[in-house]
Amino acid sequence: MFANYRSVFVLMLLLISSSFAIIVVSPPVGEIENGAVLDLGTIGPGQTVSILIDPTVKTGGLHSEGGRYDLATVGSLPPGWTTRESKLYADPLQVTVSADPLAKEGQYNFTVNIIDENNGEELGRQTIKARVRVTYDVMDFQVSPTKALIGPGQPARFAIDITNKASTGDVFEISTQGPRRWTFKKQIYVPAKSTKTLNYEIVGNEEETFQTTVKVTSLASNIIHDEKNITMEIRSNLIGDWKATNQGTLIFPIFESAIYGFAGLISNFF
């Protein structure tokens, strides 16, 4: 009988000790109660989201003065998703969750467990319910200009703006399709909810019209991609030469710089 009462008493202590809040460092949520729901925002297929947790608590535990959690893990993941648990005794405790690269759009749920190793400090186990929304609409990109008229030997410069609308950073690959001499491929990291610009430059020496496709693809999943067409027209004529002054620096006597600057300005009206 006494053993049963003792078991009940220990269970009550564990329940009481696990009733305090923990602090989620990132995403910046702050205190969150055991069993509460943590909204991780929106990501794309294959993208990875991280959760950082302060391991220190100031209440509960062996002497009711708090303590320190030792490990964080993820459970109940959807099929095809992967996770990496935190390092033991890390500060903060960081777990990562990666969506299935072929995940369909919708809301997904999983749990995060914050563990006191062997319950050594009698902190019990905290469990957070996490949710994240998967959408294919997490990336935008623009190319400016879409058409460039230049003279032979002058550079055509295109600015490629990539906007990451997801709640997590991602690496995107920018590539072009067309003649080998103008093949271009580069990777760029874009933080969450931000835009980065990459410059693409082409130089042609003969009169021709060149068309290519600029393609942007997430390294997390091929589902996240887009492409746009650009045109470069090389023409040896007065207006083309004037427009070329807007594309780069010409070599000419310094006293003629004002004339070339004026020519570039006038060309914008054609």
Q: Using one digit for the tens of pLDDT, what is the confidence trace for 130-153? A: 999 999 999 999 999 999 998 888
pLDDT-derived band at 234 (thresholds 50, 70, 90) equals confident
If one looks up domain 139-236 in CATH, what number appears? Answer: 2.60.40.10
**CA dihedral (199, 205, 207, 208) positive or negative:** negative
pTM: 0.76
What's the pLDDT at 14?
37
Contact by Cβ (8 Å): 247, 154: yes
pLDDT band at 210 (very low <50, low <70, confident <90, very high): confident
| pLDDT score, position 154 | 87
Domain boundaries, the chain: 21-134, 139-236
Rounded to 5°, the CA angle 31-32-36 comes to 170
**Average pLDDT value over all residues in the chain:** 82
Whether 74 and 83 have beta carbons less than 8 Å apart is answered as yes
| Model pLDDT for residues 5-42, shown as the tens digit of each residue | 333 333 333 333 344 577 777 676 678 888 889 999 99
Other Cβ atoms closer than 10 A to 197: 11
Same fold, 21-134 and 139-236: yes
Q: Which residues of 145-172 are buried (b: 16+ CB within 10 A; e: fewer)?
A: eeebbbbbebebbbebebebbbbbbbeb
pLDDT at 247 over 70: no
> Which architecture does CATH list for 21-134?
Sandwich (2.60)
The confidence score (pLDDT) of residue 11 equals 33
pLDDT value of residue 27: 74
Single-letter amino acid code for the residue at 111: T
